[in-house]
């Protein structure tokens, strides 16, 4: 038996179709790429999240010469949000990037480890995290829940079965 798992997202040619609030959040993610520490990959990633309370938190990737030790922007942001604003769920998270000496106009999707971390955060607060994905310019993808990025995910339910 063949089954399908649908994936839906909105795609816009640029950020002009976004609400002012979403455009501002994406701009914050674009700006925070400058705070990344990426001397090895030269690939700077920034993330900005608006919490339910209205607070905004940010994160950027932090590399290490021992590659597995580095941390992606999304997980830096999740740790920051959990420590600074415990109990305050994330409403929307924007992610942007720019590689050295190249343009970034294609939306960037989180890596597998970050998808798992985002899903866990959704489960923790029992609410979806809306994602806005874009480079420094060009197309923008909007996804209503990080859960959409990781179908058949491993969750705490698997530990209890």
List residues with catalytic annotation. Answer: 74
Q: Give yes or no for a contact between 46 and 35, defined as CB atoms under 8 angstroms apart.
A: yes
Q: Give yes or no for a contact between 90 and 77, defined as CB atoms under 8 angstroms apart.
A: no
Q: CA dihedral defined by 20, 133, 62, 153, rounded to 10 degrees? A: 130
Dist. CA 57–CA 50, nearest whole Å: 7
Measured CA to CA in angstroms, residue 31 lies from 6, 87, 156 at distances of: 33, 26, 35
Q: Give yes or no for a contact between 29 and 47, defined as CB atoms under 8 angstroms apart.
A: yes
Q: How many CA atoms lie within 13 A of 112 on its CB side?
A: 4
């Amino acid at each position: 038996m063949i089954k399908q798992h649908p994936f839906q997202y909105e795609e816009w040619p640029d950020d002009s179709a976004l609400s002012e609030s979403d455009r501002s959040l994406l701009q914050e993610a674009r700006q925070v790429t400058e705070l990344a520490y990426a001397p090895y990959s030269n690939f700077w990633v920034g993330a900005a999240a608006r919490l339910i309370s209205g607070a905004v938190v940010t994160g950027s990737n932090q590399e290490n010469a021992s590659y597995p030790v580095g941390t992606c922007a999304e997980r830096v942001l999740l740790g920051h949000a959990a420590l600074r604003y415990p109990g305050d769920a994330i409403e929307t998270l924007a992610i942007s990037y720019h590689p050295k000496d190249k343009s970034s106009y294609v939306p960037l999707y989180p890596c597998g480890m970050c998808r798992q971390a985002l899903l866990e955060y959704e489960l923790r607060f029992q609410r979806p995290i809306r994602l806005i994905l874009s480079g420094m310019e060009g197309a923008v993808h909007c996804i209503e829940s990080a859960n959409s990025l990781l179908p058949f995910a491993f969750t705490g339910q698997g530990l209890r079965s």
